[in-house]
Amino acid sequence: MGKPSRIENIFGDLRQHLLAAPAHPGQRIDIEALADRYGVSTMPIRLLLNRMIGERVVEVTPHEGYIIPAAKERRIRDVHKWNKMILMLAIETAMDDGPDPDFPELDLDQADIVAATEALFLAIADFSDTGETRYAVSNVNDRLRPIRQLDTGDLIDLPAEMAEFKAAWEAHDLNSLRDLVKQYHHRRLALVPNFIAIAYSQ
């Protein structure tokens, strides 16, 4: 396999830059600034942003151009519900297939709980043994990362929640994992209005 082209390298870096950079939901993406950042014209930047529209990492509007997706209640609810469906399907597939699926060692004690959550959900997706499931969860991880990175204060006890996931993972307990995935999403669906308020205040 050949080395990735310069445009592919820019695409990967630009995608991570947009996902990681602190930005107000609905904020316009400055194409000229990105072109300067990568030392290219605006045309390849536009082409790469168009690719990201398909992944729903960015949006385009008639008046604002390319923007960071707005934090809309229905959107956030739908993505959480989609994530739950994918993970539940992967767990139920593992329970039906038997014996125990592979439980790789995960660093769920790390300080970065968002990274630990993403790694856990990708590992659960791998229960289904299809690249499509992993791709779907990876895309959801990207889209929900800005929400997961919000300073939610005392709304959710994130360390305690992750400790429960860790115990179930290390015990290879699929039933507990299934219940914890349900509880995880139930909490967040109930708090979507809070997430939106925090997103626009930070």
pLDDT of residue 131: 82
Residue-wise pLDDT for 41-90, tens only, equals 999 999 999 988 877 778 888 877 888 776 678 888 999 999 999 999 99
> How far, in Å, CA of 158 to CA of 116, rounded?
11
| Ranges of residues in the chain whose predicted pLDDT is under 50 | 1
pLDDT value at residue 71: 66
What is the model's pTM?
A: 0.76
User: What pLDDT does residue 4 have?
Assistant: 67
* Spatial separation of the C-alpha atoms in residues 142 and 140, rounded to whole Å: 5
What pLDDT does residue 197 have? 84
